[in-house]
Structure 1
C-alpha cells in the first residue's frame, strides 16, 4: 500500500511562529555582533575607523529595515485565493465567454481544458495550484515556504524575491564585517572582547555565511524563473509541455512581477496605477503570446 506523504504536509503548519522566531534570532545575533560588539564601540575610535563604522552601521540598518519589511510582507500577505464566484469562460480558445457552471463541468472537462480542483470543489484559474499545507488553491503558486510560514504566490511573489535579495545583501555585509575578527581568531591575532562576545561574533559569522551562500542559490534560481515567466511548480510542468505561451520576453516577464513603476521595484509594494492597469498582478488572468498585439505593458 502506497504511503501518501501529502497526509503529513499539514504537520508543517506546526512550525508556525517557530520559524519566524528563528529568523528573528539570527537577526538578533547578527545585530549584537555587528552593532553592539564591534562597530558601535568603533564610532568612538576616531579617524578612518570611525568613518568605516558609520558606513557599516548605516548600510547595515538600511538593509535590515528592507529585509524585515520584505519578510513580514511575505508572511502577512495572502498569496491569492480563488474568489468564490469565479468561473472560467465556457471555451476561451473559441472565444465563447459564456460562464460555465459546476453542473456543466463533468461533460466539458475533457475537451475544453477546464481546470478543476477536486479537493476544493471549485474551478482553478490559469496557473493556480492546490497547496496541501494550506489546504486551498493558491493563485500562481510557486511553493509553500516554511521560513515565511505562508505560500508564495501571485500576490506576494515580488515580496519574496525582495526578501531573498535583501537577505543576501545583509548576510554578505555581516559576513564581510566580521571576517577580520574571524581571521584573527584563527591566526592568534589580538581580539578585544569577552569570551561571550567572541563566541557570539563567531556564531554570527558562520550563520550569515551559510545563509548568504544558500540564499544566493535560491536567488539565482528565481531570477531565471522570472526571466522565463514561470514558477517553481510550472518549471517541472514545462518538461511535458512543448511551448510555454506565458513567456513574453524577459522585459515583459519582469514587469509582470515587479510592475512598470521603477520607484516601486525595490520595495514590497505596488503603485496604484500598476494595480489598476495590470490584471496579472491580481493573479486571475495573464497575457500570453497571442495577446501581445492587443496588450502592452
Structure 2
C-alpha cells in the first residue's frame, strides 16, 4: 500500500529546490564540456590529421563528419529542451470528465462551486500552491513554482522542467549525447592509451592535457547517460513518467499503458520523419492529443487489441 507520508519523508525531488540558484551556470558548464571536447577532437587531433594523407586522412574525415553531425543534433535537442516550455495549465482550465477516477460521466458545473476558496471535491485534482485545478498527470514543480503538464522531473542540466511539450526533446538530447560521447571516447582512446606508453607523444602540454580531460569527461558522460537513457526507454515503453514510477501507482495495470507501440507514439508521434529531430509534424499535433499535454487516452478508451 502506498503511503504518501512515509515517501515524502525522503522524497528526493524536494532537494531540487536547492539548485534553483544555479540558473544558466549549468548551460555554461555544458557548453564548456562541448568546447573542451571540440578542441581535443577537431583542433588538436583529427583536424591536423586531415593533411597526413592516406588512410589517416580518410579516418580523420569520417570521425569529423560523424562528430559534427552528432554535435549539431545534440545542441539542437539540448536547446530545444532549454527553451521549450514543458507545458502550463491554461487559465481557467476545467475538466470535462473525472480524469482521476477514469469515470465517463461529465462533471456538472455545480461540482466546481467554491473550489477556489476551498477545494474539497475529491473527484478532481487541485493544486493548493497554484490555487487551480490540475489536469491528469500534471504535477507542481517546487523549483519552477508552477504546475507542469505531465511533469517528468526538473532537470538542472537544462535549467528547465521536463514535461509534456519537451519530453521528446529531452530523450533525443540523452540519445545524441550518448552517441556523441561514445564516438569521442572511441576516437580519443588511442591517444589516451599513448599517455601510458614509453614512446614520445606529439603535441604541446596544453593539447595533451585537453585530450586527456576530454577523454575522461566523455567516458564518464557516456556511462552515466547510458543509465538514464535505459531508464527513460523503460518509462516510455510503459507510458509513465519518473514521478509516476516513483509514486508506485497502486493499480495493477497502469491505465495509460496502451502497449509499447502506442506508448511510443504518445511521445514521439506517428510520423517517422520526425522521430529523430526535436520537432513534431502538424499532423501529429492534430491527431495525438497527448502531445498537447492535457488529454491522454487510457485503456477504457481503446478497442480490445493485442500489442
TM value normalised by structure 2: 0.90
Cα drift, residue 242 of structure 1: 2.8
- Residue 3 of structure 2 is matched in structure 1 by none
- Residue by residue over 1:144-182, the C-alpha shift from the partner in whole angstroms, topping out at 9 and shown as x without a partner, is 000000000000000000000000000001111100010
Unaligned runs of 5+ in 1: none
SS at match of 1:280: helix
CA distance in 1, matches of 2:180, 2:10: 41
The structure-2 alpha-carbon separation of the partners of 1:102 and 1:48, relative to structure 1 and needing over 3 Å to count, comes to: farther
CA distance in 1, matches of 2:97, 2:230: 39
- Residue 234 of structure 1 is matched in structure 2 by 244
The structure-2 alpha-carbon separation of the partners of 1:282 and 1:7, relative to structure 1 and needing over 3 Å to count, comes to: closer
- Residue 112 of structure 2 is matched in structure 1 by 101
**1:31-46 → structure 2 map (5 Å cutoff):** 31-46=38-53
- Are 1:49 and 2:56 counterparts? yes
Q: Check whether the contact 1:238–1:244 (CA below 8 A) recurs between aligned residues.
A: no
- Residue 78 of structure 2 is matched in structure 1 by 71
The structure-2 alpha-carbon separation of the partners of 1:7 and 1:63, relative to structure 1 and needing over 3 Å to count, comes to: closer
The structure-2 alpha-carbon separation of the partners of 1:292 and 1:90, relative to structure 1 and needing over 3 Å to count, comes to: closer
SS at match of 2:190: helix
- Residue 187 of structure 1 is matched in structure 2 by 197
Q: Of 300, 304, 307, which aligns to 1:290? A: 300
Q: Check whether the contact 1:43–1:54 (CA below 8 A) recurs between aligned residues.
A: yes
- Residue 269 of structure 1 is matched in structure 2 by 279
**1:189-268 → structure 2 map (5 Å cutoff):** 189-268=199-278
Cα drift, residue 187 of structure 1: 1.9
CA distance in 2, matches of 1:107, 1:132: 20
Moved more, 236-245 or 44-53: 236-245
Q: Of 151, 156, 160, which aligns to 1:146? A: 156
Cα drift, residue 7 of structure 1: 8.0
Q: Check whether the contact 1:90–1:98 (CA below 8 A) recurs between aligned residues.
A: no
- The count of aligned residue pairs is 292
Q: Of 176, 187, 191, which aligns to 1:177? A: 187
Cα drift, residue 8 of structure 1: 7.0
Q: Check whether the contact 2:77–2:278 (CA below 8 A) recurs between aligned residues.
A: yes
Cα drift, residue 286 of structure 1: 0.1
SS at match of 2:256: coil
Unaligned runs of 5+ in 2: 1-8
Q: Check whether the contact 1:82–1:138 (CA below 8 A) recurs between aligned residues.
A: yes
Cα drift, residue 95 of structure 1: 1.8
Q: Of 8, 19, 23, which aligns to 1:12? A: 19
- Residue by residue over 1:40-93, the C-alpha shift from the partner in whole angstroms, topping out at 9 and shown as x without a partner, is 000000000000000000000000000000000000000000001211236461
TM value normalised by structure 1: 0.93
Q: Check whether the contact 2:119–2:126 (CA below 8 A) recurs between aligned residues.
A: no
Name the structure with the higher helix share.
1
Q: Check whether the contact 1:20–1:147 (CA below 8 A) recurs between aligned residues.
A: yes
